[in-house]
Amino acid sequence: MAKRKNVSKQKNKGAAKKPPRKVVKLANARRSNGKSNGLPRPSNKPYGQAGKALEGVKILDFSHVQAGPTCTQLLGYMGADVIKVERPGVGDITRIQLRDVKGQDSLYFTMLNGNKRSITIDSKHPQGKRVLDALIKACDVLVENFAPGTLDRMGLTWEYIHKLNPRMIVASVKGFGPGPYEDCKVYENVAQCAGGAASTTGFREGPPLVTGAQIGDSGTGLHVAWGIVCALYQRIRTGRGQKVLCAMQDGVLNLARVKLRDQQRLKAGPLTEYSQYGEGVPFGPTVPRAGNDSGGGQPGWILKCKGWENDPDSYVYFITQAPVWEPICDLIGKPEWKTDPDYATPPARLPRLKQIFATIEEWTMTKTKFEVMEICNKVDIPVGPILSMKEIAEEPSLRATGTVVEVDHPGRGKYLTVGNPVKMSDSITEVKRSPLLGEHTDEILKDVLKFSSKEISEIKNSGALSAPKKEEKAA
């Protein structure tokens, strides 16, 4: 793999400076030493120096926009060689979406496509098809999130791919699974709505609400990455690939499962932990929106903190967890609530939550969110400051762990990205900048696909890897 500058390593004590070059092939894991359940002998290299989790795995990344690229970036963080196939002259549409630097790849693209190589191929050109076929033979996993039917129209049906490479895992993101909506194109918020998240988010009096966290796109990408890793593991036993599909509706529903839990609980009576219950508002046939109520059994709410009048994020999430009720009473100056039968037990408090949180808020409004955090955590009261994206971007501890990483880009300069949220003691993440369009075309043709110079000239001269003339003008 070509070396790239501007690599930022995930911080990990004892991490090696340079990963070893030797790659342990997945198939080797089957070789039994007779003593260890088919696994190779435990490496005696220092932790962090025995390669990365997915080293040796090659991903043919046919994904675009957000859902697929989230998945392949995560696989790249774990050490897979991700080869992103892009349309000549155009590339992933997000390269030009929401641009903040004129003429340069957007943050939308750069923050979702780190740790990848880019090759441009016109998948509908015969010579492009030739390169794709070679990639299918060389790779372990194909990831795509085209509209339904697109891959088939390119001639890349499961049967075709499987014939070329029976070991290939073909992973797809679609909006919906088989059923009435299977042919629909889907974006983030459509999935949030269809997966049950929007109907259960927001305030009872207001309309359904979508959340800022991209649970439809990035959430589904995460699910697919998990499916791929499981399929790779199964392939060690079976020797063959399989289809991996995650519909965005299914991914969102998986994340909203507590609301399907509540839907079924409604049959047994009102949802007593919802503040609606305490307010005496009857429940209907479906799970209502619950504002900032906690999704678990411990009541919680978002409360104002000092400075809230001018700072839209001067708030704290406060949980009145039963075991710490007494310290809460002491902190807020209501020691009598510890023994008052109207307040002393969780069931007694349920109909009074609105008033209780209003009283706690009188106290939180005298403190900053960070002061509330410090005071409450000393006595084990769970609270969470509402952090703005500015605060997160500037938070030193997130930089220190490699969760927020600054990388350098030859076109746009330095930018922040989110590193690997999962930290592993023996697979150290190096966050690399996103590739320029077609940056690695030559090295992939030569080093990965082993085309000769003559073949490379033939393919290039055919126009299969470059933008048609009129598209060049438009760009």
Report the residue number, 245 or 344, with the smaller CB distance to ligand COA: 245
Residue linked to tokens 């490479």: 165
Contacting positions for ligand COA (CB under 6 A): 65-67, 85, 87, 121-124, 145-147, 150, 153-154, 173-175, 185-187, 217
Report the residue number, 316 or 444, with the smaller CB distance to ligand COA: 444
| β-bridge mates for residue 59, sequence order | 82, 141
313 is an active site residue: no
Report the residue number, 49 or 254, with the smaller CB distance to ligand COA: 254
Residue linked to tokens 């439809």: 216
Structural element, H or E, at residue 85: strand 81-86
154: burial class by Cβ within 10 Å (0-12, 13-18, 19+)? middle
Residue linked to tokens 């009145």: 320
CA distance 94 to 187: 13
> What are the phi and psi torsion angles at 85 (to 5°)?
-90, 125
Within 13 A of 20's CA, how many CA atoms are on the CB side?
A: 14
Q: Which of 217, 313, 380, 442 is catalytic?
A: 217
Close Cβ partners of 331 (under 8 Å, ≥ 6 residues apart): 363, 375, 376, 379, 381
Report the residue number, 52 or 87, with the smaller CB distance to ligand COA: 87
Q: What is the DSSP string of 36-76?
A: STTPPPPP-SPTT-S--TTTT-EEEEE--TTHHHHHHHHHH
CA distance 432 to 443: 17
Report the residue number, 39 or 147, with the smaller CB distance to ligand COA: 147
Closest approach of ligand COA to the CB of residue 86, in Å: 6
Report the residue number, 427 or 441, with the smaller CB distance to ligand COA: 441
Tell me the two tokens of residue 355.
């008033």
Tell me the two tokens of residue 155.
């001639």
H helical segments located in 51-148: 67-77, 107-110, 126-138
Report the residue number, 94 or 429, with the smaller CB distance to ligand COA: 94
- 410 vs 4, 110, 120, 171, 404, CA distance in Å? 11, 12, 19, 32, 20
Contact 77, 221 (CB under 8 A): no
Q: What is the DSSP string of 341-381?
A: TTTSSHHHHGGGHHHHHHHHHHHHTTS-HHHHHHHHHHTT-
The type of residue at 143 is: V
Closest approach of ligand COA to the CB of residue 148, in Å: 7
Report the residue number, 146 or 451, with the smaller CB distance to ligand COA: 146
Closest approach of ligand COA to the CB of residue 121, in Å: 5
Contact 219, 251 (CB under 8 A): yes
The type of residue at 215 is: I
The Cβ of residue 73 has, within 10 Å, a number of other Cβ atoms equal to 28
Q: What is the DSSP string of 231-248?
A: HHHHHHHH----EEEEEH
Report the residue number, 110 or 145, with the smaller CB distance to ligand COA: 145
- Active site positions, annotated: 217
